[in-house]
Amino acid sequence: MAKAVKLEDIARRIGVSNVTVSKALAGKSGVSEELRQRIKEIAEEMGYKSVSTQKAKEKKGTGNIGVLIPCRFVDGNTSFYWAIYQNVVTKLQAKGYYAILELLNIEDEESLVLPKMIQDAKVDGIIVIGQVRNEYSQCIWNNGSVPTIFLDFYDTHMEYDTIITDGYYGMYMLTDYLVKMGHKKIYFVGTPLSTSSITDRFFGYQKALMENGITMEPHWLVKDRECGANQDLAVNIPDDLPTAFACNSDYTANFLVSKLNEKGLSVPEDLSVVGFDNYLYPNLSNLQLTTYEVEIDKMAELCVKTLLRKINRKDYVKGVQIITGHMVIKDSVKMIK
């Protein structure tokens, strides 16, 4: 079998750098038209095949992967889910695939309408980022056209293939840290059952309290949204304040801090707060939150790897796969006696 021609082979033949050859073949600026034409002619003469061309032949499909995100989880370019999407796109490009993004509106989700990219046979597989209704996840899973994988949520049907962070253990660690910092009255901010992620984090919070001999009172649960399609945040600051809040996400934590500031309360001087994600939301708060970092890059990498193995009918790990993160200690928790 003939050896594949590389960029460096063409560069050596012409007497230019690899970067110059790459720019010329990709149609980028920085190369004169005369030199660009010569490089293309030599590349063709030598039998050069681009990596994307070779991978397209290997795939024998559309070369596209669909990414579906519910509209309620995206807010301009500041959403945590945009960060996940960008990481997924990068991983797909490294494998020679293109990503096609489609936002799922509430009406299509409730009516169980398949994404247009599936209906039009535009993709070889689909990644669903962010919790959808149980009925819709089942509809997507059983679409019968392309392999599917879920990212950052799971459903009660454990046969679904999904990648999640360790929300249970992460919030357990954060709550235990608050206790070790002297806090005994810790409120959880989040709405259990609104997403699988928040539910896991709530149970992790409860486990830490129980192990430390602390009994959770009913009013220690402060909901931040309604269950269902509407995910708009709405946090009511209780009159009976704790010494610390454990929030289900950094977004909720920043939202809470702004509400506390409106009441003349400061973090961490008056109250301590922890978040979850370690994702910086622009224009919300300059507070350095103690949090649990979600390894977005590793989640995206495993998600793409698993889906491509499914597409190519290779063995893969089925069911729920968990990527563990780590705590990040910052400035939002005060030691109390």
Query: Are residues 290 and 178 part of one domain?
Result: yes
> What are the tokens at 300?
């995206």
- pLDDT of 92: 96
CA gap 291, 253 in Å, rounded: 10
User: What is the β-pairing status of strands 326-328 and 291-293?
Assistant: antiparallel
| pLDDT at position 8 | 82
CA dist., res. 268 & res. 333, Å (int): 6
Q: Is residue 323 part of a domain?
A: no
CB 157 within 8 A of CB 138: yes
**pLDDT confidence of residue 29:** 73
Query: What does each C-alpha distance from 105 to 115, 159, 171 come to in angstroms?
Result: 10, 26, 30
Mean pLDDT of all residues in 319-327 = 96
pLDDT band at 75 (very low <50, low <70, confident <90, very high): low
Residue 331 in this model has a pLDDT that exceeds 70: yes
Give domain status of residue 123, yes or no: yes
Tell me: do 78 and 152 sit in the same domain.
Answer: yes
Here the CATH number for the domain that contains residue 34 is 1.10.260
Secondary structure letter of residue 298 according to DSSP: H
Last residue of a domain, one of 262, 278, 294: 294
Q: Are strands 221-222 and 186-189 parallel, antiparallel or unpaired?
A: parallel
CATH number at 265 reads: 3.40.50.2300
Check residue 89 and give left, alpha or beta (phi > 0: left; psi -120 to 50: alpha): alpha
The answer on pLDDT for 93 being more than 90 is yes
Count CA atoms closer than 13 A to 31's CA, side-chain side. 21
Residues 115 and 143 in one domain: yes
The span from the CA of 207 to the CA of 79, in Å, is 29
Q: Are residues 176 and 211 in the same domain?
A: yes
pLDDT at 85 over 80: yes
Model pLDDT, residue 60: 67
* Amino acid sitting at position 149: I
Residues 45 and 153 in one domain: no
Beta bridge partners of 149: 127
Place of tokens 């032949």: 57
The parent domain of residue 15 ranges over 7-49
- pLDDT at 158 exceeding the cut of 70: no
Three-state secondary structure readout of 188-210 = EECCCCCCHHHHHHHHHHHHHHH
Q: Are 84 and 151 contained in the same domain?
A: yes
| Same domain for 96 and 14 | no
Report d(CA 108, CA 105) in Å as an integer. Answer: 6
pLDDT tens column, 258-298:
999 999 999 999 999 999 999 876 556 678 999 999 999 99
Q: List the alpha helices (DSSP H) in the chain.
A: 7-14, 18-26, 33-46, 51-59, 80-94, 106-111, 116-119, 134-141, 167-180, 196-211, 250-262, 296-311
Give the domain-ending residue among 158, 184, 201. 158
| 34 & 91 share domain | no
pLDDT in tens, 181-224: 999 999 999 999 888 999 999 999 999 999 999 999 999 999 99
pTM for this model (two decimals)? 0.77
CA distance 85 to 88: 5
pLDDT range class, residue 57, cuts 50, 70, 90: very low
200 touches 257 (CB < 8 A): no
From the CB of residue 190, how many other CB atoms can be counted at a distance below 10 Å?
A: 25
State the pLDDT at residue 230: 53
Low-confidence winner among 67-81, 93-107, 209-223 (lowest mean pLDDT): 67-81
Which pLDDT score, from 0 to 100, does residue 234 have?
A: 81
User: What is the average pLDDT value for the chain, to the nearest integer?
Assistant: 89
> Is there a single domain that holds both residue 227 and residue 272?
yes
Q: What is the domain count for the chain?
A: 3
- Highest mean pLDDT, choosing among 48-52, 107-111, 181-185, 254-258: 181-185
Q: Would you say residue 300 has pLDDT above 80?
A: yes
Q: How far apart are CA 100 and CA 126, in angstroms?
A: 9
pLDDT of residue 56: 45
Spatial CB neighbours of 277, under 8 Å, sequence gap ≥ 6 = 80, 249, 250, 251, 291, 292, 293, 294
